[in-house]
Amino acid sequence: MLDIYTLGEEVLGEKCQPITKFDSGLRVLVDAMFETMSEADGVGLAAPQVGVPSRLFVINIQGVEKRAYINPQIIETSIETDISEEGCLSIPGVWHDVQRPARVTVQAQDIEGKVFTVKAEGLLARAIQHENDHLNGVLFIDRLSDEEKEKMVKAYEKRTKGKRRKER
């Protein structure tokens, strides 16, 4: 299990670097990310969320997709958009509607460095865009208006403080 970094940690705002070594270290990281994600009940997890500023995320949507996306690039987005509620393992306890393109085509490398292409829609398209944003230091709350974002941050901070008090 890896620690999940939360709002306020510098690594979550960084532009991540491409992965160049497809070695056993990468495999260990990917396995640990899948485990951490499933333990946290998430459908996606990006490397910066576990403190690693590299261009990699994992997705696990039951019955749809379970895969690591390494050095992903969104090469096509639909003009049609979709609004749906999102949350993030790095901002636990808050959710908000986010508008995004309804469909995307993404090209990425697998654990061996082999290139693959995925045409995604629905939850998978949303998860890919959310995780890809993480690799550019962008969180879903950054996609909201300043006012909405501030509300989300306040709600999160209130929740975090409340939790800490309870734990004592």
Q: Residue 88, interface with Ni ion (CB under 5 A)?
A: yes
Cβ nearer to Ni ion, comparing 23 with 97: 97
Q: Residue 4, interface with Ni ion (CB under 5 A)?
A: no
Cα separation, 131 vs 88, in Å, equals: 9
Q: Which two tokens stand for residue 5?
A: 């970094």
Residues 100-119 that bind Ni ion (CB under 5 A): none
Q: Which amino acid is at 158?
A: K
Burial class, 149, CB count within 10 angstroms (exposed 0-12 / middle 13-18 / buried 19+): middle
Provide, rounded to whole angstroms, the least separation between the CB of residue 142 and Ni ion: 11
Q: Which two tokens stand for residue 122?
A: 């629905």
Q: Which amino acid is at 99?
A: Q
Question: Is 10 one of the catalytic residues?
Answer: no
Candidate list 14, 112, 131, 157, residue with the active-site label = 131
Residues 131-150 that bind Ni ion (CB under 5 A): none
* Binding region for Ni ion (CB under 5 A) out of 51-59, 84-92, 116-124, 144-152: 84-92
Q: Is 137 left (phi over 0), alpha (psi -120 to 50) or beta?
A: left
Q: Which two tokens stand for residue 57?
A: 């995320």
**Which element (helix H / strand E) includes 142?**
none
Provide, rounded to whole angstroms, the least separation between the CB of residue 168 and Ni ion: 28
Chain residue whose CB lies nearest Ni ion? 88
Provide, rounded to whole angstroms, the least separation between the CB of residue 81 and Ni ion: 19
CA count, 13 A, side-chain hemisphere, 112: 3
* Binding region for Ni ion (CB under 5 A) out of 3-11, 27-35, 86-94, 147-155: 86-94
Q: Point out the residues that are catalytic.
A: 131
Q: Which residues here bind Ni ion, judged by CB under 5 A?
A: 88
